[in-house]
Chain A
Amino acid sequence: MRGWQVIKKGLAIKKGLAILIVGLFCLAPLPASAVAVDDRPLPDAAQEARARLIMAGIRCLVCQNQSIEDSNAPLARDLRVLVRQQVAAGKNREEIEAFLVSRYGDWVLMSPPFNPRTLILWLFPPGLLLGALVFLWYRSRQTPQARPRPLDASEQARLDAILSGATSDRDADRGEQNR
């Protein structure tokens, strides 16, 4: 009984720890995105949310692997101001992204667009998968599973003898060696 209680208590601690960890993970993204955005948000919450969404998809060209939403670079700040202005002016995401691409190229978008220059990038992984599947299918057709040869009369007799227990395993081994 005591042992069971110890286990139960241990489980309760684990459960509490799990809740704590999950809670921490839920909290973690909040301060991270709040730190870099030092400039003034738009007064309209819906517009600000749209602006933030667009910012998250625009690459900071100075720090390269951060979006302008979470970069502290001065250029990222300027681009945030620009995105907010454009959102406030009623521009949609496509228009704002098109403007930035016309200035900085496709690279300014965090996820590369699908166009002739990015064909290899987008088509290589599914192409590789497809190629591998075709290869496997082709191979499986070329070498059908080898069927075991049916036993001849003497082998069948030996097998019957082993199964009926008339010969010991050692005899069977010896028979194998003799072959």
Chain B
Amino acid sequence: MRPILWVPLLLFAALVMALTIGLFLKPREIPSAMIAQPVPAFDLPPLWMSGEGLQSSDLAKGEAVLLNVFASWCAPCRIEHPFLMELADEGIPLYGLNYKDKPEDALAFLGELGNPYRRIGADRDGRVGIDFGVYGVPETYVINGQGQIAYKHIGPILPQNQDQLRQAIKKAAQESPANEKASE
């Protein structure tokens, strides 16, 4: 058989391979354009009258933090909530962005499931969400000590995603000046 006759078969095999890889890609998970970018400037009011809101400066205090975008109307948020409570118990700084929610509903949600957040900003119209590139709730951002977005998880944090998120937190903590000082 002449070698050139193998060309169509090889081309076909390459096509099959490319399409097979394509089958396992997740088109819903859009790679974030915000990775390694500084947190957008924002200043959000609190959920309740007496509480403190959330500002971009809260997320750039020299330690790695988590920003979780949640809403009471978001069913998958309930799935990841126990894990968020677990992280908060471990002392990992966790901040909340309450996305397009009614404050009373959000408070009821936290009253029922517990509040893992150090501070919560109420993003009533979703404008800050757009600045972060949020397109679905829940989303979780890992932010390093310089206030740069290091990692983004889209959708609920399922048991199989927990390790990856923990590793991202650890990595972001190593990049943070507060930790460098602590290790010196």
Tell me the A residues contacting B by CB distance below 8 Å.
61-62, 64, 74-75, 78-79, 82, 101-107
Contact = CB atoms under 8 A, between A and B. Distances in A.
B130 A103 contact: yes
Interface string B119-161: 0000001110111110110000000000000000000000000
A102 B115 CA distance: 32
Contacts of B28: 64
Most buried by A among B27, B127, B133: B133
Nearest to A74: B100
Mostly, the B contact residues are: loop
A61 B135 contact: yes
A8 B33 CA distance: 64
Contacts, number: 40
Contacts of A105: 30-33, 133
Nearest to A76: B135
Given A78-B125, A78-B126, A103 B132 contact: yes
A27 B127 CA distance: 35
Given A74-B100, A78-B129, 4 more contacts: A78-B125, A103-B33, A103-B34, A107-B30
A102 B130 contact: no
A103 B168 CA distance: 21
Interface of B: 27-28, 30-34, 37, 100, 125-127, 129-133, 135-136
Contacts of A79: 130
A82 B133 CA distance: 13
A75 B126 contact: yes
Q: Kindly list the 3 A-B residue pairs having the minimum CB-CB distance in the complex, ordered from nearest.
A: A61-B135, A105-B33, A103-B133
A82 B27 CA distance: 25
Contacts of B100: 74
B34 to A, nearest CB: 7
Contacts of A102: 33, 37
A4 B130 CA distance: 68
